[in-house]
Structure 1
Amino acid sequence: MSGKTCSSSSSSSSVIHAQKLVDQLRVEASMERIKISLTAADLVRYCQDHRRSDPLLTGIAASSNPFKDKKTCVLL
């Protein structure tokens, strides 16, 4: 009888898991999606508009770089 109880318990657990999965898929399916081409165009436009202030493109002035080593390394 304990085998039946264990099987019933795992069966109800898998049903609950399946129901949660179905609910999540329904939520995802009902989301309004944005076309990739529009999003990519917005991203390109943003990058072009902000390229002058992008430290990866323009670099960081040595005087304002907080990560610059204070001392130089000298090997003897």
Structure 2
Amino acid sequence: MDVYCSNNVLQARRTVEQLRLETELQRIKISAAAEQIVQYCQEHRRADPLLTGIAASSNPFKDKKTCVLL
């Protein structure tokens, strides 16, 4: 029973320490974060391969050979 109690105390101390760290974090509002994400995406959209695609010659995942069944 003593080991169980010491584990609980240790876990509680870790939780308290984590909560203390989290209270010191500087947080921004969600609307500001969303605005920054949209701005970043718009500024980098020309280099985004999901939007522009990847040239077949530079695509490392393209099959080199075609499969032929006889």
TM-score with structure 1 setting the length: 0.78
**Shift in Å, 1:63:** 1.2
Structure 2 unmatched ranges of 5 or more: none
User: 1 CA distance for matches of 2:55 and 2:9?
Assistant: 60
Identity %: 63
CA RMSD for the aligned pairs? 1.4
Correspondence for 1:68 among 51, 56, 62: 62
1:30 counterpart residue number: 24
Matched positions, count: 70
Q: As a proportion of its length, which structure holds more helix?
A: 1
Query: Which whole-Å CA distance do the structure 2 matches of 1:68 and 1:13 have between them?
Result: 53
Query: Could you state the TM-score of these two structures normalised by the residue count of structure 2?
Result: 0.83
CA distance in 2, matches of 1:47, 1:8: 55
Is there any run of 5+ residues in structure 1 with no aligned partner, and where?
1-6
Whichever of the two has the greater Rg, that structure is 1
